[in-house]
Amino acid sequence: MSPGLIYMHVQLKETQMEVHALRQRIDLFVSQTDTIPNFALESLGNLTTVICVVMAIHGLYEETCSFLTDCFPFIASAGAKVCHSLSSDTYWPYDIRLWERIFHRSHSSKKQRQVIQVGACWCFSGTSGHLLISLSHLVSITHVTLGHITKGRSPSGCIMSAPKEFSVFVSCFLLFLWTFSQNGPEFQTFKLLVIFFYVKLQVENNWGNTNYTCLYSFRVHGHLPL
């Protein structure tokens, strides 16, 4: 083996060790909301289990219909569904080519990620949009969690496309209006107490991007009513 190949091999090993160390550090800083049991990944046999319907949103260039269905097999397996026809359309840059759409659709992640990844999000056009979810059961909802990368993890150092003020509706009734802090953590949890089957996330505005808004994660926490 030539000296050049040996050097590259050593560099690769060192990089792999650094990546492994970083993953271990990241695991230590996973949001406390992840300690809530995940309904989408657990058995439905225990009706007293805490519910956490998780939508870890991946693939900026997913087709609208396939994105809101195929991209969430773990939600479908638990009986919860994203109502794509009643949700905002996916944002498409005007200059994106057809082959790029096909490539991103074919290679987008189909698995839930505990750690938010830069660029692994769903974008809708403009500053406001909505997402409608039908849950698998009537759920006593206690909290919702909205996720976005932090400023520190953004390549530009800002997150103007992050949601700012957002609302949560159930069966057309407004529950609460909150503000997602651009200086806060990636996952921010907001408390509410209500029992319903449909949940709608309405993003009212963002932090300054007029072209599109990015949504990384939306979670509904609660338990099955007795």
Per-residue pLDDT of the chain (226 residues; tens, 9 = 90+): 566 566 666 666 666 676 666 665 555 444 443 444 333 333 333 322 233 333 333 333 233 333 333 333 334 335 667 777 788 888 876 555 454 444 444 433 333 333 355 556 788 889 999 988 887 777 777 777 888 888 888 888 889 999 999 888 876 555 567 788 888 888 888 776 666 778 888 999 999 999 989 888 777 777 776 6
| Cut 0.75: pTM above it | no
- The CATH class of the 32-223 domain is mainly beta
Is residue 190 within 8 Å of residue 199, measured between CB atoms?
A: no
CA dist., res. 21 & res. 23, Å (int): 5
Amino acid at 8: M
Is residue 137 within 8 Å of residue 223, measured between CB atoms?
A: no
DSSP 24: H
Closest CA to 109 of 69, 58, 174: 58
β-strand pairing of 122-125 with 173-179: unpaired
